[in-house]
Structure formats: C-alpha cells, structure tokens
Structure 1
Amino acid sequence: MPTHGLLHALRGLLAAALLAVLLAGIPWGLIHYIGWPLPHTLPTWAETEAVLLTPMSTTFLLNTLACVLWPVWAAFAYDVTRTALHEARPLPHPPTPSTGAGPLHTLAAMLVGALTLTLLTQRPPNPADVAPAAVAATSTPFEHPRVEAARPAGAPLDAPEGTVRVRLPHDGIYDSLWRIAERTLGDGNLWPRIYTLNHNRPQPDGRTLTNPNLIRPGWILHLPPSKPRQPPPRTNTPATPSPSPDTTPPTPSPPPAHDTPAPDRPGGISLPSGAFVGIGLATLITATLLTARRRHRIHYQPGSGRRDDLTPAPVVRALRIAHDTAPPPPPDDARQTQGQVIGVKAGQTLAWNLARSKGLGLTGPGAPDATRALLVTLLAEHQTTRHIELLVPAPDILTLLGNETRRPPALHVVDTLDTALDMMEAELLLRTPSDPDARPAPAGPPAADLILIATPAPHAERRLQSVLDNGSALGLAGILLGPWHPGDTAHVRTDGTVTTTNPDAQHLTGTCLFTLPTPDTRDLLTLLHQAQPPRTAAADHHADVAEHPASDQGPARPRRPLTNGAGPRADQPPDPHDTEQDAPPRPPSPPTELPETADRPAPPRQPLHLTVLGPTRLTHRPPDSDEHTDLITALVPKQREILTYLALHRDGTRRETLAAALWPDAPQDHPYNAFHATLSQLRRALRTATHDAVTDITTHAHGHYSLDHHQVTVDLWHLQDALDTARHTTGEQHHRTTLEHVVTLYTGDFASDLTAEWTEAPREALRRDVLDAISSLVRILRTAAPEQALALLEHTRTLDPYNEAVYRDIGRLQAHLGHHDAVPRTLTLLTTTLAEIDARPSPETLSLFQPHADA
C-alpha cells in the first residue's frame, strides 16, 4: 500500500506541475520573450501589402504564433476552471456539459481528475515510514540544436585566412560589399578595395564578380591587407554616434508619451492648407520666387498683355511672408549642418543623413506628405545651394503628384524601379575609383547627390540594398515609400509625427516631420520649374515689341534675322488675339476722348499730393501759398505703406484686406490693433506737420477705408486715367497723343522704396501696362519716325533694363536705320546687364544678333 500511495502522490505532483506550466508558464513565456504581438497602431494597406510581399522575418513568425497560442491557452484555462468547479461539487456529480468536449477539455479533465484523486486518497504518512532524504537539485541548461545554413555546392564551410565568405540573407537583409568592408576592415567606405581585389575572380559556383551590387551567398572574397579602422559614427544621431549596422530584425519602439503634438508645433511653419514646413524651405522658396520673377521680367513680351504669372500661389505667398517675419535661426544650431533637415523635435530642427542611413523607409498615413516635403526641399536646394538629382519611377510620381507634368529638370521620372536601379548602378560604377588607394585629383565640381524616391519591390530588394549600401559614401541615397529593414524605417502619422521606428532610427521617435499636401507640392514644383533658365529657344514666346503679339495658343511666328533690312512694318493689321485676354478684369469705363488741354494734368487743387511712382513722397501746398512742403519725412514706414496701399486701391478697400496685406503676422485675437494704432499716429503726424491745416487724409464707413479725394491727389491715378483713355481712343493721331502722355506720366516703378511683399505684383503689373502702351506707340512711330521710335525704345530700356524683347527691337531698328556698328554694342549691353542678376541672353536673342556680332 505504501507503494500504491506513493504512486498516487507522484501522479498528483506531475499533474499539478503540468497544470502550473500550462496555466502560468505559457503566458509568462509569451510576455517575457515575445511581448505584445499586435502592432501599436492599425496598419495601413501599404504596410500590410509590404509585410505580405517581403520575406517572413523571425519576429513576424513569433508574433503570429503568439497570436494563435494566446486564444488556445485561454480556452484551456477556461476548461480547467470549469472542470475544477465540476470536481469540487458534492456527490453525486451532475453530468458534465458536453459543449466543451474536445482535446483541450479531455486534457483538462484528466489533469484535474488526477490531482483531485491524489488529494482525496492521500493520508498523512507515518513519520517512521518516511526516511529522511536529501534531494540535490541540479539544472542542466538546454542547448538549442545549431542549424547550419545551406551553402552552394563547392563552397567551403570556413573561408581561408585572408578571405571572407558572403553570408546568407537574414531577415530580408542581404550581404553587400559595404557591410563586408565594415565587418572585416572596420570601415564600410573601403568596399572599393574588396571589389578591385576580387574583380573577375572565379567563385566556387563558377561565376565571377563583375558588378559590385551583385554578390552571391557562399562566394569567397579576398581581403586587402590593411589595418582595421574604427567605423565612422553615423551622423543621424547628433548627440551620440549610432552603432554599426545590425542584422537583427527591427522591433518597433514604444510610442511617445504625448500622442498629439502641440498645436503651434514650434520650430516649423504651419500653413492653412495643413502643410508643416521648416524655415529653411521658406528661405529657399523666397529665393526661388525672386529668381522666377526676374525671369518673367526678362522674357515678358511687351504687348502680350500677360498677367497670369504675377500673383504667386497661396503656399508661395505664405512661405514668403513666413520668411520675412520669422526670426533668423540660431547660428549655433549644429544639427542643421549634419544632414538633411527633415523635421523638428522638442522645438529644434532635426537633420538626417540620408546616405549614411542606407535608405529611409517611411510608412503610415503621413508617409506620402512627408515624402513630398523632402522632394520639394531637395529640389529647392538644387535651385540655390546644392547639386541634387532625383529619380522617381512613374508609378510613384503618380502616387505623389498625380498627373502633374510641369516639373524641374532635376526631377527625373523613369518608367520603372528597375530602370531607376539601372541608372543608379551605372552612376555608382562611374563614381567608384578605379584605384581606391590613389589620392583623388582635385578636378571640377563635385558630382550631384543622386537620390531615389520609390516604393521597394521584393524582386529588386537585393539590388536596391547593394546600391544604397555601396553608394552611401558616393552621394547615392534613397527615400522609400514602405518599410526598409536594411536601413531606417519610421511610421508617420497623418500630422507628420513619427510614432515607431526600427532600433537604428530610435532618435526619430517623437519627431514631427515636415509635410506637404499634393496641391501645395504642385504649386511649389511649378514655381521651381518657372525659375529654371531656358535650355533652348522658347517656342512659346510672343513676337517682339515691334511685332504684333501672337496668341498664346497659336503657333510660334518665324523670326526674321537682323540682316533682313526691311525693318518693322507699320501696315500690319491688329492681331485678334492681342493683349487683353490674360489681363485682370478692370472696372468698365465708357470710351472717352482726350480733351484738348489733356497734354498735362491740371495742377492739383487739393492741399496734398501723393507720389507713388518712384520713391514715395507726400507734399503739402497751403491754399494761400505756392510753396510745397515735403511731409514724407514725418511719417514712419508703416504709415507710408498705408497711404501707398490706399493709393493703389483708388476706390478704397476693406479693413480686413488692408490689415492682412500689411500685417500678415498679426495675432488672430486682435488682428486690427496695429492698423488702428498706425492710422491714429498717421493723423497725429499730419496735424503736427501741417500745423492743423490737415487733420485726416482718409475716409471710412462700415469698415471700408479710402483716401479722401477732396484732400489728396495721386500721380498713379493720373497715369491710370491716361492708360484707360489710351485703350479706348480712336484715331492714330489722338492715340499717339495719349500714349505719349502715358510715357510722360510714368516717372518710376510703383513704390520703388518699399520692399513689402504686397507691392511686387502691382509694381510689375503697372510696368507691363506701360510697356504695352510703349509697344503700341512704337508701332505708330516706326514707319513715320523711326529715329523717334528708336529713342523711345532706348528710354524704355532705362525703365526696364532686363527685358530682352526691348533689346531685340532696338537691334532691329538699328539695323533698319543702318547703325550696324551699334548692334553688337546693344548685345554687349544686354549681356552685361543680365549678368548682374546671374542670367544670360536666350538662344533666340543670340541668333538674332549673331550675324552682326560676327561681322
């Protein structure tokens, strides 16, 4: 019987141990070794597709098994609990429900039954029957069997000394020459030495190494005899260097403590469209806008009436205003010099070295917007500071930009990812030094940074990884729309916040990346395209000043060389597609005839006269005196701006519009405080300067402000009246008189002493109005008085010294009048003038002047 009792006790202990392992050991192991198997955020379709198409990693397999094991364990625990309750009931036992019958229920019933039987049959043992025994517990560590990876036929198990064997892919990461050099030589940038040493060397599988981006597992590569060096630190982490690349599968880092960024997001610029960009992009776009406006001014064809390029897009204007009002960045912000600025973290800009990261993968709903911001920033830097070329496959450009066709030349769209990789591999071979140990000769400008923006595909992962690995020190980088295990991966929310990353990119967690929606991206790309210098003769240019303008939609008119000798013709009929189609709408005014005394405007009878053509001036003439007093020195700049803005809007404007133009950064809770304060100070300054003769210069009613026409006259209004009259006059002589009056009244650019953003578009529009009027006057004078027409064109050149069409017509008239020696001097003058703004004459202009320049 003792033996029978001992067996019962042993069976009960085994059942209890097994129950403890199954009930407590399984969840402890799942929590301790695997953790939470589900993603922290709901995966997007792009992430799900990327996981399904990429090779399965160990982490993904363990997480999948954990998701299966947790429900099984829960069902088993439920059956154990139900069976235990059933066994604990008083006899006789009710029948056990059959709904839970199955393997789990059978196992639970057996273990609980054995444990219950042991407890019921176990009696206190006789102390004399039990011999004391010392049990020594020893534990033997369990060793997992080592599984040797399969190797190609003929490849040795261990590489000989001085060589290295190419590893098998691990978790989707392939071995590359860069990784081998970093692992064996201590510096991945030394991979060209390994490539040069093993080029065309036979391998165990019969192949040879001919492409540095294609090495196969099991190949034996000879190593150069060099002393290992410490790998250079990755500059993506400003504070501490990042560790060397690891082949362990990426695990997501915990989300930041604050799930939602601060509303103001310090360190960047939030736009009404939802975009979030840095002050660096605002600076680049401002410089690009100025360049584009110079090019518009150079290539404007007088008489065309084009005005659609004057007003910038809302995002461009917002960035220009942000640049003008934002404080300068701190000079000691070192992170801006260590890579590409991609966002802000804790109120400071964060830079990321795209090349050294060997590919930055962006996932999540905010990945496209973040990619667009990087794309525009890189192209803007290409325009101003760096030489950058972008490669984007056509499917990805369609995803990012839609059917947009106007792109800067630095943005190269290729058919497929394979085509892009072909181009990058060819560029990598060109940049790889033939003799890695030779000192590079200082020659020419550095090669452009070549950056790929694409969605990684499973069939091209090995090529893509090799290109990004080997090209990390040669200016080749990648921004990938999807997870990228060999490099860095970041999950981006809709607002641009990075929630999770792989281990090498943990410093990105919590960063607010810059973002751009599709419409803003298109507008900025259009601006970058407009700022590009023309590569060939423009086919869509209009005719010159002496020609009648052609329609924008019509075919280009063939050019006549300067040696024609016929000169401009005066008998051409008016072009039905001329001038006014693209002009902004003007208030209708009835046709009026110029009075006999309209040669000069009548002297102003009002006590004040405001001059805004040229430098701003305000003169006061008392009613009983002929003396004029200049009052402009008594006014501060903002007061002058108010007067100039109201002069531009002859019939007045709303307070909201005026305040938004002059104070775009005014606080939203008090948007008109600055306006009212400045207007009050303006009245006080006028009273003081005129000794209370003038108390106010403005009128207002129900929020509508204008200049008081009984107190002030404006030179701009006289010019506008003359331009309107010239548009509606009939008869050549009468038309000529009104046009000459326009030329007389235009004494300078609109508000030439003001640099505010709102002045630029009306200034250029008024200049074009005058150029169009001069174009009409030249057509009248070129046959009857060609010398006078030439003098008028010379005067026009002083008004707009950068307009190529004016120089071309000067050259035509000089050749027509026989002034052949003056034609080359005109070309030289144009070349010198354009060089001041870093521009050159167009091929079209050079072809017109070339015959006389050669002579």
Structure 2
Amino acid sequence: MPSSTRRSSRNGRPRRPSEEGNSGARRAHWASVRTAVRGTDQASRTPLRLSGRHALAATLTPAHTPTRTPATSTDHSTQHDTGTGTGTGTEATAPPDREPERDDPHTPLYLSVLGPVELTYRPPDATQASSGRQTGPLVISRIPRLARELLACLAAHPKGATRDYLVATLCPDSQSLTPETTLHSALSRLRKTLIDTTGDERTAEIIGTGDRWTLDPSTVTADLWALQATADPCTDHAPERRRIQLRKVVGSYRDLYAADLPGLWAHSLRETTRRKFLEIINELVALDVERGDDRAAVQLLDRARTMEPRNEAIARTLITLHLRAGHLDHAEAVYDLLRVELEAIDAEPDPRTRELLTAALQP
C-alpha cells in the first residue's frame, strides 16, 4: 500500500491519494459537516453497554472490501428519540395484568410522558357517531403545569405515591401553610378540564386518591409503563416476541421523559429513562443483526446517534455495519460527525474507531 494512503489527515481518518492537495474541497466538506450537526441535541458521551451478545463492533466484519457509493444518505428516523437501566428507588413496573400500549383500546385516556407531557382522549366506538364532539383521538390541551407534573410523576410510579411525597416533590417552594391544598386544587382543575373537554364522566377517575395517589389503569394507559415492562431480559426461545415488544416502545418514544417540565424532581427520572431507552436500542440492534436485518439495525443506530451524537460506542457499531455493507462513504460520514462533536468538547475519537476505517482501506 503506498505510503500516501497510510498518512492520516488532521482529523485522524486515513487520507486517500485523491485527497492530497485538495484543501479547498476539504474545507468545504468540514463546513457542510459542521452545518449538519449545528443544533444537534447535546447529549452525554455515556457509551452503550456493548458486552457479551451486544459486542457488535468487536465481532462484525465487513462482508467484502468497501467501495465508494453514490452520495446518498442512509435512511434516518425522523423521531428523537442509550447504558445501564438502573431505576430510582421508588420505580415500579407496569400493572401485570395487561401490557400498556399506545393503541390500547381499553382505556379512554392515553398519557404520553416520553417527550412533552400529552394526554389524549379516545372515545368509545359506540359514542363517536352520536356525540357532537370531535370523533377519534383528541389531545387534551390547556392542562395546568402542576397537573401535568402530577400526571408525569404518577406515571413513573404505577404503584402510587403518598400525598406527602407528591407535595414535597412537586410543591417544594409553596408559600401556602397547607401546600397539600395546592395539589388538590390542581387535581380538581384537571378533572374539570377533562369532563368539559370530553363530556365523558369516566375521565374524572384518572387519579385515585387515598393512602397512595395512583393513576387508575382502567381509565388511563401511560407509554412509560411499556418501557418499564421491558426490564425482563429476552428469553432465547422468544426473540421475535421480544423484538416486537421493544419495537413498540421505540415507536412511542418521542423525546426525553417529561421534556417540557422544568422541575428538578424530573431530572433523575429523565436520565434513567434515557439510558433505558438506549439500552432498548442496543438490544434491538443485536436482535436485528442476529436475524440478518442490518438495515433495520442501522436505522436504529442512526436514531440513537441523534440522541447521543458524542456516544462513540454507537458510532463504532454504526461504522462497522456500514463497512460490512460496503458503504465506505457512509462509514466516513459517521466518523466525521463524531469527530466534530468531540472536537466541540476538546476531545477526539478513540484510536479503535479510527482503526476501523484504516483497516477498511488496506488491500
């Protein structure tokens, strides 16, 4: 191999002979790369857990020598939607009788907290035609902030939480001599909003109050419950069932947990949920690769990379899959984007990441 092909460029990627002296084109290239990553979410650099069956980058090898492909982009998911999934001390699993789903028709209300908090009403088929209201799913708007915080907090605790815990968590700065009154007022306004908007008295039962406040699982389903229900590891005799379960969670994930709520109480839950979602992506990639569906694995990794642009484990696995498919241009683009992201925090890619491209260029 000629020495010129072994010489590294300033970013650490192996330089091709055709790139020698082409400084103007290189400057234009880096300008376009920086434009592409401008505005990207500034997620942490926490790597995926790539050990055992998930050690994809270490075990995958290119099927043939990569060649340049036309400059077309890989399929990318448009949704935003990661690590170890350790929960909070009070985290609980979903109700065991039935796995909650986004399209679950059994409850009149559906609560989305994987992203901005959103409550959707789904009228029963029998009343859709006779009702003068909008038919089909209806997003409940104008829910006060404290009521949205209450919904999101209870979604994270399916087994419920005491009133004292909720007051201390959601109303820490309350100037009232009886801050629990503030919480009860928020619940009353929520119930009134639901009845006025839907005309369905059942929606008033969304939250049960007693020794522990809980979301009523016969009235509302939360997307977070499905994510929590994935805690059990995949069994070897049912990988396809597991894959379907995880795909449903990925489909409902819109953004960070309660992304529109500024309260400090949500920060640890937000991080736990983010890492759990990345763990789901990681497991799905392994399942897709095992069944020979590298294209689906690439799409998942592209989505994860949107969330974690500085996560080098994600980039390495994505580069490896592109090289195995013979898409050297795509692999280089992933490396370039990673390099720019790390440069912003005065870091650089690990030598192992550069070596993937170096090895691909060797005859």
Which residue is 2:226 aligned to? 718
C-alpha deviation, 1:818, in angstroms = 1.9
Closer, same or farther: CA 612–669 of 1 in aligned 2, 3 Å? same
Cα pair 2:101 2:223 within 8 Å, conserved: no
**How many residues are paired up?**
294
Structure 1 position 805 matched with structure 2 position 308: no
Match of 1:621 among 113, 116, 122: 122
Match of 2:263 among 734, 751, 756: 756
Match of 1:665 among 153, 165, 173: 173
C-alpha deviation, 1:838, in angstroms = 4.4
Cα pair 2:100 2:221 within 8 Å, conserved: no
Which residue is 1:775 aligned to? 282
Closer, same or farther: CA 711–782 of 1 in aligned 2, 3 Å? closer
Cα pair 1:609 1:618 within 8 Å, conserved: yes
Closer, same or farther: CA 685–590 of 1 in aligned 2, 3 Å? closer
C-alpha deviation, 1:696, in angstroms = 4.2
Which residue is 1:787 aligned to? 295
C-alpha deviation, 1:810, in angstroms = 0.6
Which residue is 2:47 aligned to? 301
Structure 1 position 706 matched with structure 2 position 226: no
Match of 1:742 among 236, 249, 264: 249
C-alpha deviation, 1:760, in angstroms = 2.1
- 2 CA distance for matches of 1:782 and 1:767? 23
Gaps of 5+ in 2: 1-40, 65-82, 130-134
2:123 maps to a residue whose letter is P
C-alpha deviation, 1:667, in angstroms = 4.3
* Percent sequence identity over aligned pairs: 29
Residue correspondence of structure 1 range 527-538 to structure 2 within 5 A: none
C-alpha deviation, 1:636, in angstroms = 1.7
1:776-835 deviation per Cα after TM superposition (whole angstroms, max 9, x unaligned): 222233252333322332233234444222111111111222222222211222234456
Aligned partner of residue 141 in structure 2, secondary structure: helix
Cα pair 1:750 1:763 within 8 Å, conserved: yes
Closer, same or farther: CA 795–566 of 1 in aligned 2, 3 Å? same
Cα pair 2:257 2:270 within 8 Å, conserved: yes
Q: Please state which structure has a larger fraction of its residues in strand.
A: 1
Asked which structure has the greater CA Rg, the reply is 1
Match of 1:612 among 113, 121, 124: 113
Gaps of 5+ in 1: 1-293, 304-541, 549-558, 568-578
Residue correspondence of structure 1 range 166-565 to structure 2 within 5 A: 298-303=44-49, 546-547=54-55, 565=62
Which residue is 1:733 aligned to? 240
Closer, same or farther: CA 853–662 of 1 in aligned 2, 3 Å? farther
Aligned partner of residue 204 in structure 2, secondary structure: coil
1:563-592 deviation per Cα after TM superposition (whole angstroms, max 9, x unaligned): x7479xxxxxxxxxxx87966676589999
1:735 maps to a residue whose letter is R
Closer, same or farther: CA 834–617 of 1 in aligned 2, 3 Å? farther
Which residue is 1:765 aligned to? 272
Cα pair 2:114 2:257 within 8 Å, conserved: yes
- 2 CA distance for matches of 1:829 and 1:754? 30
Closer, same or farther: CA 844–679 of 1 in aligned 2, 3 Å? farther
- 2 CA distance for matches of 1:638 and 1:599? 24
Aligned partner of residue 609 in structure 1, secondary structure: strand
- 2 CA distance for matches of 1:600 and 1:653? 23
Which residue is 1:817 aligned to? 325
Residue correspondence of structure 1 range 571-582 to structure 2 within 5 A: none
- 2 CA distance for matches of 1:544 and 1:841? 26
C-alpha deviation, 1:720, in angstroms = 2.8
- 1 CA distance for matches of 2:174 and 2:300? 45
Residue correspondence of structure 1 range 22-171 to structure 2 within 5 A: none
Which residue is 1:644 aligned to? 152
Cα pair 1:610 1:616 within 8 Å, conserved: yes
Cα pair 2:112 2:223 within 8 Å, conserved: yes
Match of 1:695 among 186, 204, 213: 204
Q: Please state which structure has a larger fraction of its residues in helix.
A: 2
C-alpha deviation, 1:718, in angstroms = 3.0
- 1 CA distance for matches of 2:152 and 2:333? 39
Cα pair 1:726 1:738 within 8 Å, conserved: no
Cα pair 2:167 2:180 within 8 Å, conserved: yes
Cα pair 1:749 1:767 within 8 Å, conserved: yes
Cα pair 2:110 2:119 within 8 Å, conserved: yes
C-alpha deviation, 1:607, in angstroms = 2.1
- 1 CA distance for matches of 2:87 and 2:149? 25
C-alpha deviation, 1:699, in angstroms = 0.7
Match of 1:632 among 133, 140, 146: 140
Structure 1 position 680 matched with structure 2 position 188: yes
Aligned partner of residue 159 in structure 2, secondary structure: coil
Closer, same or farther: CA 799–545 of 1 in aligned 2, 3 Å? farther
Cα pair 2:100 2:222 within 8 Å, conserved: no
Cα pair 1:687 1:695 within 8 Å, conserved: yes
Aligned partner of residue 299 in structure 1, secondary structure: coil
What TM-score comes out, normalization by structure 1 length? 0.30
1:377-424 deviation per Cα after TM superposition (whole angstroms, max 9, x unaligned): xxxxxxxxxxxxxxxxxxxxxxxxxxxxxxxxxxxxxxxxxxxxxxxx
- 2 CA distance for matches of 1:698 and 1:590? 15
- 2 CA distance for matches of 1:677 and 1:545? 51
- 2 CA distance for matches of 1:841 and 1:756? 34
Aligned partner of residue 701 in structure 1, secondary structure: coil
Q: What is the CA RMSD across the aligned residues, in angstroms?
A: 4.0
Aligned partner of residue 610 in structure 1, secondary structure: strand
Match of 2:161 among 653, 656, 662: 653
- 2 CA distance for matches of 1:560 and 1:712? 44
What TM-score comes out, normalization by structure 2 length? 0.66
- 2 CA distance for matches of 1:852 and 1:661? 53
1:620 maps to a residue whose letter is Y
Aligned partner of residue 761 in structure 1, secondary structure: helix
- 2 CA distance for matches of 1:667 and 1:591? 40
Cα pair 2:120 2:140 within 8 Å, conserved: yes
1:99-124 deviation per Cα after TM superposition (whole angstroms, max 9, x unaligned): xxxxxxxxxxxxxxxxxxxxxxxxxx
C-alpha deviation, 1:622, in angstroms = 3.1
- 2 CA distance for matches of 1:581 and 1:792? 18
Cα pair 1:790 1:813 within 8 Å, conserved: yes
Closer, same or farther: CA 545–769 of 1 in aligned 2, 3 Å? farther
Higher RCO, 1 vs 2 (CA within 8 Å, ≥6 residues apart): 2
C-alpha deviation, 1:602, in angstroms = 5.3
1:807 maps to a residue whose letter is A
Which residue is 1:112 aligned to? none
1:701 maps to a residue whose letter is G
Aligned partner of residue 265 in structure 2, secondary structure: helix
Closer, same or farther: CA 833–604 of 1 in aligned 2, 3 Å? farther
Closer, same or farther: CA 650–680 of 1 in aligned 2, 3 Å? same
- 1 CA distance for matches of 2:183 and 2:241? 44
2:47 maps to a residue whose letter is Q
C-alpha deviation, 1:700, in angstroms = 0.9
Cα pair 2:315 2:335 within 8 Å, conserved: yes
